[in-house]
Chain A
Amino acid sequence: DAGVTQSPTHLIKTRGQQVTLRCSPKSGHDTVSWYQQALGQGPQFIFQYYEEEERQRGNFPDRFSGHQFPNYSSELNVNALLLGDSALYLCASSLAGAGGPSETQYFGPGTRLLVL
């Protein structure tokens, strides 16, 4: 059973550049959430995609955008990178449903982004 996969594992960018991170959900899942985790902090919710649309958004500027494809995979795009965007970016997948175990989010290994 394939788990959540993310690419790339590490990335170095320069201030002002743009970056795209990718996520493939766990087999059978249709929903993808993105989180940002700064060093020493817990993950912070960026947004969630379901049926190819952004279903909920956290407190992040619109420099952060995303996309979900028909195969349920997803991309996170960050424009005009700032030094403060350096973090571990986590993707989590789940199965949309009425609650209980089907709503449990399973996380990928993350992409570590360093902005210089």
Chain B
Amino acid sequence: DAKTTQPPSMDCAEGRAANLPCNHSTISGNEYVYWYRQIHSQGPQYIIHGLKNNETNEMASLIITEDRKPSTLILPHATLRDTAVYYCIVRDPTSGTYKYIFGTGTRLKVLA
């Protein structure tokens, strides 16, 4: 599975959009991009995933560029409850490798 690179920390003002980048320059064609977040040592919470197209759900949007090397998770209107560590993971679910490889993630702090 491809490795991911994320900035260690980011701040965002409450009510503004939070844009969290992830670099996965060695991503292969069958690898999905997954985003999770972990709030204060609770279990990681699934946010969104995508393969080639941009995706949106009730929590966030995932922007994947045409070459798929970077992606961006967008929280459109950040609240204080969005303060968490955000993990970007790439994985090919058809590869026979079932584990998720977590990095150290991005610690997002939403400021009042």
Binding site for B on A (CB under 8 A): 4, 31, 33, 35, 41-45, 48, 55-56, 58, 88, 90, 92, 98-101, 103-110, 112
Contact = CB atoms under 8 A, between A and B. Distances in A.
Contacts of B94: 98-99
B80 to A, nearest CB: 21
Interface of B: 32, 34, 36, 41-46, 49, 87, 92-94, 97-105
A5 to B, nearest CB: 10
Count chain B CB atoms within 10 A of each CB in A33, A58, A88, A103 and give the residue with the most: A103
B20 to A, nearest CB: 15
Nearest to A100: B93
B99 A45 contact: yes
A56 B102 contact: no
Contacts, number: 61
Given A41-B104, A42-B104, A42-B105, A107 B45 contact: yes
Contacts of A43: 44, 100, 102
A110 B42 CA distance: 7
Contacts of A55: 98
Nearest to A98: B94
A86 B107 CA distance: 23
A110 B41 contact: yes
